[in-house]
Amino acid sequence: MNGIVFPAGDRNVFYVPVAVVAAMLAVAAAGWLWLPRADVPLPLVEGCRLDREACGSALPDGGRLELAFEPRPIPKSGPMRVALRVEGAQPSRAEIVFQGVEMNMGMHRLALAAATDGRYSGETSLPVCVTGRMLWQATVQIELGRNNVSVPFRFESGG
């Protein structure tokens, strides 16, 4: 007779450790899936105004993002195009949250569509401010692995 012969009652000796290892792997996988995501807020990008030029920021663990708006100057009403380029990282999601800095204009979210080579884009219109000029904060939010990375930028509209 070829093969492994187990004495009576010893067949479970092989199956019990295999079942224990399989259960441990299943618990580890479930734990990883249910772990909370980490929020990684980066500081305000200083010395760059999106209403005048494209602005960039270094990402944690390497990589870089660059954000640009068109047209420039940014009109107080009407559409504007948003372009985001991410190098050295591959976000699974990208969006921008717009908020008034000196006046509460609510939060305006824009989900960006992925293109090729780390490029994302979208088009939006900002709420109109009756005073003319308005200082805004645009916070880029990207999902990198288990991290939600946010990078704030400032710009003026209605200039």
* pLDDT tens figures, 47-83: 888 888 999 999 988 899 999 999 988 876 778 999 9
Residue 10's pLDDT band (boundaries 50, 70, 90)?
low
Which residues in 109-148 are b (16+ Cβ under 10 Å) and which e? ebebeeeeebebebeeebeebeeeebbbebbbbbebeebe
pLDDT digits (tens, 9 = 90+) for 86-128: 999 999 999 999 998 888 888 899 999 998 889 999 999 887 7
- Domain edges within the chain: 39-157
pTM score: 0.74
More confident residue, 4 or 91: 91
pLDDT recorded at residue 6: 57
Question: Is the CATH number of domain 39-157 2.60.40.10?
Answer: yes
Cβ 44 vs Cβ 152: under 8 Å: yes
pLDDT above 60 for 32: no
Kindly give, in sequence order, each residue whose CB lies less than 8 Å from that of residue 154, ignoring residues fewer than 6 positions away: 44, 45, 49, 50, 101, 135, 136, 137, 138
Burial class (CB in 10 A: 0-12, 13-18, 19+), 33: exposed
Residue 8's pLDDT band (boundaries 50, 70, 90)?
low
pLDDT above 90 for 135: no
Residue 34's pLDDT band (boundaries 50, 70, 90)?
low
